[in-house]
Amino acid sequence: MPNQAQSSKKKYDLGERTARFGEHIIKFAKRIPENAINRSLISQLIRAGTSIGANYMEADAAESKKDFQHKIGLCKKESKEVLHWLRMIATADSNIADECRKHWKEAHELVLIFSSIIKNKN
């Protein structure tokens, strides 16, 4: 059983959090009814939702402060884009609006986290 320090560290592991977010977005996207309208929205949501974690991994391995700032900025940008696509999906299919709100909340928290990182690194 992990001790409290290990448990706390894992709870705030942003790499893991962004990876899980991407996984949740993929699973959610599989449940969205596919039709002419949703097809494009699903694709955009998956691209943005999964790229947050990839960009964070690149930021974590950044070669310079400037590179780090750029990659974290991309994380923030993609997180904000997810907010948009979730709103569009909720509009396209009101039956899944509640689940969109759940993912929207997490994406919004990621925007706030990345905004804070950017602000504190300047």
Q: Is the pLDDT assigned to residue 2 strictly greater than 70?
A: no
pTM score, two decimals?
Answer: 0.87
Reference 42, options 1, 103, 113; nearest CA is: 103
The rounded mean pLDDT for the chain is 92
Q: What angle do CA 81, 85, 89 make, to 5 degrees?
A: 170
121: pLDDT confidence band, cut at 50, 70 and 90? confident
CATH fold of 11-121, please? de novo design (two linked rop proteins) (1.20.1440)
79-92 confidence digits (pLDDT tens):
999 999 999 999 99
Reference 115, options 85, 53, 81, 72; nearest CA is: 72
d(CA 21, CA 24): 5
Q: Is the pLDDT assigned to residue 7 strictly greater than 60?
A: no
Q: Is the pLDDT assigned to residue 63 strictly greater than 50?
A: yes
> Please, what is the angle between helix 65-92 and helix 36-60, to 10°?
160
Share of the chain above pLDDT 70, in %: 90
